[in-house]
Amino acid sequence: MYFPLDLTFRMARYIACQKICRVPKFPLVLMLEPLHRCNLRCSGCGRIREYADTLNQELSVEECLESVKECNAPIVSICGGEPLIYQNIAELVERILQLGKFIYLCTNGQLLEEKLGIFTGLAAVNRLVKKRLYWNVHLDGTAAFHDGITGKPGSFDKAVAGIAAAKHAGFYVYTNSTLYRQHGVESSVEDLAKLGEILLPLKIDGMMVAPGYGYAAVQSSEEFFLTREDTHKIFRSIRERMRQSPKTLRLTATPVFMDFLCGERELPCAAWANPTRNIRGWKSPCYLITDRHFETYRALIDGTDWTKIGFGSDVRCTDCLMHCGYEPAAVLFGTRLSDLIRTAVWQLG
């Protein structure tokens, strides 16, 4: 299975309740950024550049919890910045779990092995820690590719050591990879397959793979990022490799989302389902593009014109096929019987 049954059933029940109550827009995942400070400077990341003037600021635990309650999404993705340098990360995780939420803790893995003991300690007194806390470790390819993106030799080995330690301790662990144009389609796919082979003995729970998108806050050249056509081509090649070696490439993309990435299906952008809360407020319109920040979640939902974002609506979105807007769309709008059957078979695979 790609995701635990507890998470799958909770999400299905939540979505069904929202639709029965005819709630027009509701969150699936809260992207919570308690800080933007990081111990790496990755080429494809815009956070440390866009929020350069707030790198020394943090949300308090209470501010984070207020946002979790206000939004009330079933899943909280704690990201940033690097969450493991947030001074109150253990307390934040524990208290979010007490609210009945599931957590994706997104990390570059440089401190994972060192700080894992904090979380095994939490797990010793709270059985939900290992059931509802999922590590999401950034790996943009094998050592040469990944260390080139991070600009730090040895960062790949350190992240893999953290993954091994977390799996040995009994945690769920996923990896998160972004593919870039500069490497070329075939070399990127080959490298991703090699990464899957390296991770296979560690028995990770899945690989999240995203197409690199050149939004405004990133300062790399246009040649660094994928165009829409590049993304279609690279994911068609990935899907073919998945058919050849399904155990090596365990991508968490649902069949509907994979169809979209391959250019075989259109989806509307549902960025409203993955709202972002950070030091400046609720980010509008999406995780990547910033027009303004709202003071409250409700102000974000009511004050953003959601009809004006996405492919064909905003020129900035032309080459974006990112999970923050389209993965929730695949869940919310991939509701044909054939889609549901395919997704169920995939989840059990």
The predicted pLDDT at position 217 comes to 56
State mean pLDDT over 226-246: 91
* Percent of the chain whose predicted confidence (pLDDT) is above 70: 96
State mean pLDDT over 61-75: 97
pLDDT of 302-314, one tens digit each?
999 999 999 999 9
Half-sphere exposure of 286 (CA within 13 A, CB side): 26
The predicted pLDDT at position 344 comes to 83
State mean pLDDT over 75-101: 96
Distances (CA, A) of 247 to 5, 121, 154, 236, 257: 20, 32, 27, 18, 19
Peptide bond into 285 cis (omega under 30): yes
The predicted pLDDT at position 44 comes to 77
> Is residue 220 pLDDT above 60, yes or no?
no
Distances (CA, A) of 280 to 28, 296, 319: 21, 11, 26
d(CA 253, CA 262) in angstroms, rounded, equals: 11
Please tell me the pTM assigned to this model: 0.94
Domains recognised in the chain with CATH numbers: 5-348 (3.20.20.70)
Which 3 state secondary structure label does DSSP give 96?
helix
Query: For the chain, what is the mean pLDDT?
Result: 92
Under DSSP, the state recorded for 58 is B
Helix (H) or strand (E) holding 206: strand 206-211
> Is residue 221 pLDDT above 60, yes or no?
no
